[in-house]
Amino acid sequence: MHNEVLIEVNNLQKSFGENHVLKDINATIHKGEVVVIIGPSGSGKSTFLRCLNLLEMPTGGSVIFEGINITDKDCDINQHRQKMGMVFQQFNLFPHLTVMQNITLAPINVKKMKADEANELASKLLTKVGLLDRADSYPKQLSGGQKQRIAIVRALAMEPDVMLFDEPTSSLDPEMVGEVLAVMKELAAEGMTMAVVTHEMGFAREVGNRVLFMEDGVIKEEGTPEQIFKNPKDVRTKEFLNKVL
Amino acid sequence: MNEIIASVNRYGALFLSGTISTLTLSFLTVLFGVIFGTMFAMMKLSKKKILNVPANIYIEIIRGTPIFLQLVLIYFGLPQIGVRFPNIDGFAFFPECMSALIALVMNSTAYVAEIIRAGITSIDKGQTEAARSLGMPENMAMKLIILPQAYKNILPALCNEFVTIIKETAIVSVVGYQDLMYAAQQVRIDTFKVFPPLLVAGAVYFVLTFTTSRLIAVLEKRWARSDA
């Protein structure tokens, strides 16, 4: 089913000074696919995700998004980031704006959407995540789970072609993890292309179409959740899964 | 005491106009200081050497030399290099006003730039990342996301700068700007009395700065509550 390539990563490298974080990463993400990236902390999985929309500038290799090399120097990355929603571990909602303003700010200012059109879209999305009644609240008045659901809505309001999730549940209290994962599951069911860095193995197994296991800046193993969780080939994958499962 | 009351009675209008001049000059200084200070703060934070080096040099030199020297340099120096402010009918001492304002703004810009720079760097990096990930260009993220938060954080510091400026403006009386200090000096020369005019001026300065600081403290408390 997933044939059309949305993101293609070729020989991706990233170093911070002497520290070689990503060593020659090759990967493709197809349209409609949910790719889950797992691995021990410090393995470079967040850096890899952040390289996809150039929040980290790769030091080598290329990222092709919708057929365009966005790592090219002449490429206007702002144009392409509009099509790549991102959700952060720390939510990063704008504290000086209401929930509604958080969501409509980029559509109005970046996409030049009309204000009432943006409000309507925001209301629709808020209804979907069950938070329409919080439209006029400020982020500090929300719980962690609510914040993250708003952050997802904020990214969705730009009507992106792919959603990047950087450990979206890692800073949540355990009882709030479920509500965020539920929204993500629904999104996946609707056919959204997603790349998810997470420690939630249940989510990876249940929702992922493909799992990448990263360690030491390389993709050690990749495959379907079935294959990775039931029958890992790489010895490091086995060790990692034994520890976390 | 009687002498003080007599001094106020007789020269009240002079003191009042001096106080208004002091407040006007202080307010304009902080206003332009914030505008130019923001520019210098952005230059200093820029990765481009051509922007951050001049900003750094400017800020260090201004902060490292006396404001008195800067004022005299502007007042006597500008005409020497051909910059002369005309005398304007109905605006007495326009050249003196301009020199005083320019010198104070130049000075305040350096201090305010440092306040604003600190305000900008205090904003979590995730804010910029979130804005950029939505496709906002760098300057839009600065304008819509970073600066509004930075200004809110540094408002108390900016108000304190206003208090400092109220006191520092006293120096402009030496180039003939008719502020509160100038009024006090006029009365001293007129009456041959030292204490009454200077104590009146001192009291007015104190009331201005003290009430401003109290006001800031109250506002700060209110802001802190809204942040909770």
- Please give the ipTM for the structure prediction: 0.94
- Among chain A residues, the shortest Cα distance to B129 is held by A55
pLDDT of residue B136 exceeding 70, the answer is yes
CA distance A222 to A209: 11
Within its chain, how far is the Cα of B22 from the centroid?
Answer: 11
Task: Measure CB to CB from residue A55 to each of B132, B135, B137 and give the nearest one.
Answer: B132
**For residues A214 and A45, is the Cβ–Cβ distance under 8 A?**
yes
CB atoms within 10 A of CB B123: 17
Per DSSP, the residues of B57-122 read HHHHHHHHS-HHHHHHHHHHHHHHTT--PPPBTTBTTHHHHHHHHHHHHHHHHHHHHHHHHHHHHT
Q: What is the pLDDT of residue B221?
A: 83
**Mean per-residue pLDDT, B158-185:** 92
- Among chain A residues, the shortest Cα distance to B146 is held by A94
A53 contacts in B (CB within 8 Å)?
133
B112: tokens are: 């305010």
Task: Measure CB to CB from residue A88 to each of B126, B140, B228 and give the nearest one.
Answer: B126
- Among chain B residues, the shortest Cα distance to A90 is held by B126
Enumerate the β-bridge partners of residue A194.
Answer: A34, A163
User: Is any Cβ of chain A less than 8 angstroms from the Cβ of B145?
Assistant: yes
Question: Which of A53, A88, A110 is the best mutation test for B, with the most CBs of B within 10 A?
Answer: A110
Task: Measure CB to CB from residue A81 to each of B135, B140, B144 and give the nearest one.
Answer: B135
**Mean per-residue pLDDT, B175-188:** 91
User: Is any Cβ of chain A less than 8 angstroms from the Cβ of B122?
Assistant: no
Interface of B with A in 41-60 (CB under 8 A): none
Number of domains in chain B: 1
Q: Which of B98, B49, B38, B50 is nearest to B74 (CA)?
A: B98
B224 contacts in A (CB within 8 Å)?
none
At A132-190, the pLDDT tens digits run: 999 999 999 999 999 999 999 999 999 999 999 999 999 999 999 999 999 999 999 99
B127 contacts in A (CB within 8 Å)?
92, 94
- Among chain B residues, the shortest Cα distance to A79 is held by B135
pLDDT of residue B223 exceeding 80, the answer is no
**For residues B11 and B183, is the Cβ–Cβ distance under 8 A?**
yes
B134 and A158 within 8 Å at the Cβ level: the answer is yes
User: Is any Cβ of chain A less than 8 angstroms from the Cβ of B224?
Assistant: no
CA distance A106 to A83: 12
Q: What is the pLDDT of residue B94?
A: 87
Which parts of chain A have pLDDT scores under 70? 1-2
Boundaries of domain holding B36: 2-227
B155 contacts in A (CB within 8 Å)?
none
- Whether the pTM exceeds 0.95: the reply is no
Interface size between A and B, measured as CB pairs under 8 A: 63
Question: CATH number for the domain including B124?
Answer: 1.10.3720.10
